[in-house]
Amino acid sequence: MFFKKKTAVYQSSDEEDFNLAKSLLEKEQIRYYEYAAEEMPVAGCGARIHPARLNKQINLMTFRISVASENIERAILALQGKVRFVLSSSSD
Protein backbone atom coordinates (compact mmCIF):
# COMPACT_ATOMS: atom_id res chain seq x y z
CA MET A 1 0.00 0.00 0.00
CA PHE A 2 2.98 2.34 0.48
CA PHE A 3 4.02 2.61 -3.17
CA LYS A 4 0.61 2.27 -4.81
CA LYS A 5 -1.29 5.21 -6.21
CA LYS A 6 -4.18 6.10 -3.90
CA THR A 7 -7.38 7.94 -4.82
CA ALA A 8 -9.71 9.71 -2.38
CA VAL A 9 -13.18 8.15 -2.27
CA TYR A 10 -14.51 9.93 0.82
CA GLN A 11 -14.13 13.39 2.37
CA SER A 12 -16.11 14.95 5.21
CA SER A 13 -15.98 17.08 8.32
CA ASP A 14 -18.43 14.76 10.13
CA GLU A 15 -16.47 12.41 12.42
CA GLU A 16 -19.39 10.01 12.98
CA ASP A 17 -19.89 9.59 9.25
CA PHE A 18 -16.12 9.13 8.82
CA ASN A 19 -16.06 6.32 11.41
CA LEU A 20 -19.04 4.66 9.70
CA ALA A 21 -17.23 4.82 6.34
CA LYS A 22 -14.13 3.19 7.85
CA SER A 23 -16.17 0.38 9.40
CA LEU A 24 -17.95 -0.27 6.09
CA LEU A 25 -14.65 -0.56 4.26
CA GLU A 26 -13.27 -2.86 6.94
CA LYS A 27 -16.36 -5.05 6.66
CA GLU A 28 -15.75 -5.37 2.89
CA GLN A 29 -12.04 -6.03 3.58
CA ILE A 30 -10.92 -3.05 1.52
CA ARG A 31 -7.59 -1.58 2.62
CA TYR A 32 -7.72 2.18 3.02
CA TYR A 33 -5.56 5.12 4.03
CA GLU A 34 -7.15 7.65 6.37
CA TYR A 35 -6.20 11.28 6.77
CA ALA A 36 -7.46 13.86 9.25
CA ALA A 37 -6.32 17.46 9.47
CA GLU A 38 -7.51 20.73 10.88
CA GLU A 39 -8.09 23.59 8.46
CA MET A 40 -5.38 26.23 8.60
CA PRO A 41 -6.25 29.51 10.36
CA VAL A 42 -7.04 32.49 8.14
CA ALA A 43 -6.67 35.42 10.54
CA GLY A 44 -3.53 37.52 10.19
CA CYS A 45 -1.00 39.05 12.57
CA GLY A 46 0.08 35.64 13.84
CA ALA A 47 -3.10 35.40 15.91
CA ARG A 48 -3.86 31.88 14.62
CA ILE A 49 -7.53 32.57 15.25
CA HIS A 50 -9.86 31.20 12.61
CA PRO A 51 -13.04 33.29 12.30
CA ALA A 52 -15.08 30.08 12.35
CA ARG A 53 -13.86 29.35 15.89
CA LEU A 54 -16.18 32.10 17.10
CA ASN A 55 -19.08 29.91 15.96
CA LYS A 56 -18.81 26.66 17.91
CA GLN A 57 -21.16 24.88 15.46
CA ILE A 58 -18.54 24.72 12.70
CA ASN A 59 -16.15 21.77 12.63
CA LEU A 60 -12.74 22.64 11.14
CA MET A 61 -11.53 19.05 10.89
CA THR A 62 -11.42 17.39 7.49
CA PHE A 63 -11.43 13.59 7.23
CA ARG A 64 -10.45 11.80 4.04
CA ILE A 65 -10.25 8.14 3.02
CA SER A 66 -8.17 7.00 0.05
CA VAL A 67 -7.91 3.54 -1.49
CA ALA A 68 -5.62 1.89 -4.03
CA SER A 69 -6.59 2.32 -7.67
CA GLU A 70 -7.78 -1.27 -8.04
CA ASN A 71 -10.24 -0.85 -5.14
CA ILE A 72 -11.90 2.43 -6.15
CA GLU A 73 -15.10 0.94 -7.61
CA ARG A 74 -15.51 -1.58 -4.76
CA ALA A 75 -15.04 1.17 -2.16
CA ILE A 76 -17.53 3.52 -3.80
CA LEU A 77 -20.11 0.72 -4.06
CA ALA A 78 -19.55 -0.18 -0.39
CA LEU A 79 -20.03 3.42 0.76
CA GLN A 80 -22.68 4.75 -1.62
CA GLY A 81 -26.06 5.21 0.02
CA LYS A 82 -24.70 4.41 3.49
CA VAL A 83 -22.59 7.49 4.19
CA ARG A 84 -23.20 11.08 3.15
CA PHE A 85 -19.92 12.23 1.62
CA VAL A 86 -18.78 9.74 -1.02
CA LEU A 87 -16.69 11.28 -3.81
CA SER A 88 -17.63 10.29 -7.35
CA SER A 89 -15.38 7.94 -9.32
CA SER A 90 -12.69 9.44 -11.55
CA SER A 91 -14.18 7.84 -14.68
CA ASP A 92 -17.40 9.92 -14.46
Q: Looking at the predicted structure, is the pLDDT value of residue 16 above 50?
A: yes
26-30, 33-37, 82-86: range with lowest mean pLDDT: 82-86
- Which pLDDT value is given to residue 92? 38
Q: Distance (Å, rounded) from C-alpha 11 to C-alpha 63?
A: 6
Enter the CATH code of domain 1-39+58-87.
3.30.70.1530
For the chain, which residues make up each domain, given as ranges? 1-39+58-87
Mean pLDDT of the chain: 80
- Which pLDDT value is given to residue 4? 77
6-15, 42-51, 65-74, 82-91: range with lowest mean pLDDT: 42-51
pTM (2 decimals)? Answer: 0.72
Edge to edge, the sheet with strand 6-12 lists 6-12, 61-68, 32-38
